[in-house]
């Protein structure tokens, strides 16, 4: 397979819609610094692959989106097929690999897989629950194959970790200390916050990071099932905004980087800081691979969005034949918005989860609330009038 370097899209429509323009020919695509697959302008390869190397895990976290993903008896990728994934990524020009699970350190192929990827010049990170860091793992990490080790922790006391069933917090803290003192690795922490989470737990985790000389705490937000009513949705959205605002204030109080989704609060409501102008990365600059070799634009999307399987087709063909254009907010509301080229409609997984359509806007649209475009009452009324319940989710009938 010929080696391809991923290129960044630089062209946009001239019709004011703010949506990516399709090139007229392969020559146009080359001039724009992107690849043209048929009439679709896209990156020639993903910049990063997220790979769940295993679904096996020794914990049972209540909020884990992979806890019901394992299919008994289904064939997993062999070590040879995992190595082939690395070779294909190398040939495509993809240089970043993020490994998760399940618990990656329970997979017997992790060490040779990571070593091979690093030898191919890839930047490899891994996310672990922190309970399976054995002496052998410490020795392997010390060898420098990983770019970063991220340990999941929801706080520094048992109450804060109440949703992480089976976890020994003392073991996790001891292993974080070992990672910092014995390996020289770049260690970060990752926490999951619900809308009603205690920000005091996050503050305590940041203090722990400061004490351990850990440079980054990553914050993810719990994605709940679509609410049953518009008032509940309104409450969830405002709770999310309120939490974002408070966390943005924390950033000024610590040297630890608090990594979370970009918001208007990060730049005194300067919307151009919201993203790189590329929008939701699903199927655009990243792809996800599960332990069975299924490929999706993003781990948060259901199996309805599987683009192909590595046992059946090469990674490049799956990428080339995918449909990233599906993951643009192609609706009248977003097209007419002055910030269309900044957020591109936001998260596609949330749009599908709440509205039942991949081309809808992100339910957590900042413009309506930060700009005062719509009051909470007006937004709730609009949702009630414009949505109908479909299997517990919401589908926009008009925008």
Contact (Cβ atoms closer than 8 angstroms) between residue 94 and residue 87: no
Query: What's the pLDDT at 197?
Result: 66
- pLDDT class for 64, splitting at 50, 70, 90? confident
Q: How far apart are CA 19 and CA 175, in angstroms?
A: 46
Can you point out the beta strands (E) in 29-176? 35-37, 40-42, 48-52, 60-61, 96-100, 123-128, 148-152, 164-165
Q: How far apart are CA 240 and CA 257, in angstroms?
A: 20
Closest residue by Cα to residue 264 from 364, 333, 334, 349:
364
Instruction: Tell whether pTM > 0.95.
Output: no
Question: Residue written as tokens 């309104």?
Answer: 234
Structure tokens of 346? 């936001």
pLDDT over 60 (residue 172): yes
Mean pLDDT, residues 206-211: 97
Name the 3-class secondary structure at 33: coil
My answer on whether omega of the bond before 191 falls inside 30° of 0, hence cis, is no
Of 48-52, 165-169, 288-292, least confident by mean pLDDT is: 165-169
Mean pLDDT, residues 136-164: 93
Name the 3-class secondary structure at 140: helix
- Put residue 196 in one of left, alpha, beta given phi > 0 → left and psi -120 to 50 → alpha: alpha
pLDDT over 60 (residue 232): no
Q: Return the bridge partners of 14, or none.
A: none
Query: What's the pLDDT at 384?
Result: 42
Nearest-5° Cα angle at 298, 88 to 188:
90
Neighbours of 40 (CB within 10 A): 18
Q: How far apart are CA 202 and CA 179, in angstroms?
A: 21
pLDDT over 70 (residue 268): no
Query: What's the pLDDT at 123?
Result: 98
Closest residue by Cα to residue 172 from 182, 183, 163, 161:
161
Closest residue by Cα to residue 151 from 134, 175, 124:
175
Q: How far apart are CA 117 and CA 352, in angstroms?
A: 34
Mean pLDDT, residues 315-342: 75
Our measurement of the distance from residue 279's CA atom to the centroid of its chain's CA atoms, rounded to an integer in Å, reads: 13
Query: What's the pLDDT at 261?
Result: 73
Instruction: Dump pLDDT digits (tens) for 68-120.
Output: 899 999 999 999 999 999 999 999 999 999 999 999 999 999 999 999 999 99
Q: Secondary structure of 206-272 in the HEC alphabet?
A: HHHHHHCCCCEEEEEECCCCCCCCHHHHHHHHHHHHHHHHHHHHHHHHCCCEEECCCCHHHHCCCHH
Mean pLDDT, residues 236-256: 81
Nearest-5° Cα angle at 111, 107 to 117:
115
Mean pLDDT, residues 192-196: 70
Mean pLDDT, residues 267-288: 63
Of 81-90, 115-124, 206-215, 228-237, least confident by mean pLDDT is: 228-237
Our measurement of the distance from residue 79's CA atom to the centroid of its chain's CA atoms, rounded to an integer in Å, reads: 25
- pLDDT class for 337, splitting at 50, 70, 90? confident
- Put residue 192 in one of left, alpha, beta given phi > 0 → left and psi -120 to 50 → alpha: beta
Query: What's the pLDDT at 274?
Result: 46
Question: Residue written as tokens 């890839």?
Answer: 122
pLDDT over 90 (residue 328): no
What mean pLDDT value characterizes the chain?
Answer: 77
- % of the chain residues with pLDDT over 90: 43
Query: What's the pLDDT at 352?
Result: 83
Q: How far apart are CA 14 and CA 30, in angstroms?
A: 19
Residues 6 or more apart from 223 whose CB is under 8 A from it? 65, 300, 349, 350, 353
The CA distances from residue 328 to 36, 88, 296, 297, 348, in Å, are: 17, 27, 16, 12, 8
Query: What's the pLDDT at 21?
Result: 34
Instruction: Dump pLDDT digits (tens) for 296-326.
Output: 999 988 888 899 999 999 999 999 887 555 5
- pLDDT class for 262, splitting at 50, 70, 90? low
Helix ranges (H only) for 45-134 are: 79-92, 110-119
- % of the chain residues with pLDDT over 70: 70
């Amino acid at each position: 397979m010929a080696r391809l370097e991923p290129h960044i899209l630089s062209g946009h429509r001239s019709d004011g819609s703010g949506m990516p323009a399709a090139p007229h020919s392969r020559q146009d695509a080359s001039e724009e610094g992107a690849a043209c697959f048929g009439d679709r302008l896209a990156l020639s390869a993903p910049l990063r692959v997220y790979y769940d190397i295993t679904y096996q895990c020794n914990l049972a976290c209540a909020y884990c989106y992979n806890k019901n993903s394992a299919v008994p008896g289904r064939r997993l990728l062999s070590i040879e097929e995992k190595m082939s994934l690395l070779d294909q990524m190398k040939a495509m020009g993809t240089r970043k690999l993020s490994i998760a699970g399940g618990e990656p350190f329970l997979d017997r192929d992790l060490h040779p897989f990571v070593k091979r990827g690093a030898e191919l010049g890839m930047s490899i990170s891994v996310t672990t629950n922190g309970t399976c860091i054995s002496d052998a793992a410490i020795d392997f990490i010390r060898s420098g194959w990983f770019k970063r080790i991220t340990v999941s922790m929801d706080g520094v006391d048992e109450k804060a970790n109440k949703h992480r069933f089976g976890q020994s917090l003392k073991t996790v803290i001891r292993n974080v200390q070992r990672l910092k003192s014995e390996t020289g690795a770049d260690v970060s922490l990752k926490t999951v916050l619900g809308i009603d989470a205690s920000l005091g737990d996050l503050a305590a985790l940041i203090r722990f990071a400061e004490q351990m000389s850990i440079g980054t705490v990553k914050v993810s937000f719990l994605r709940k099932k679509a609410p049953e009513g518009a008032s509940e949705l309104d409450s969830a959205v405002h709770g999310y905004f309120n939490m974002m605002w408070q966390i943005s204030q924390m950033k000024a109080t610590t040297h630890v980087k608090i990594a979370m989704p970009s918001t208007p609060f990060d730049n005194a409501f300067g919307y151009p800081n919201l993203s790189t102008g590329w929008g939701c990365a699903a199927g655009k600059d990243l792809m996800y691979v599960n332990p069975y070799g299924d490929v999706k634009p993003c781990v948060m999307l259901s199996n309805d969005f599987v683009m192909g399987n590595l046992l059946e087709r090469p990674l490049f063909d799956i990428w080339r034949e995918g449909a990233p254009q599906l993951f643009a907010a192609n609706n009248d509301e977003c097209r007419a918005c002055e910030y269309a080229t900044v957020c591109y409609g936001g998260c596609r997984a949330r749009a599908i989860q709440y509205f039942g359509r991949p081309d809808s806007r992100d339910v957590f649209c900042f413009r309506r609330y930060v700009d005062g475009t719509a009051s909470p009452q007006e937004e709730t009324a609009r949702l009630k009038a414009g949505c109908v319940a479909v299997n517990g989710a919401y589908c926009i009938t008009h925008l």
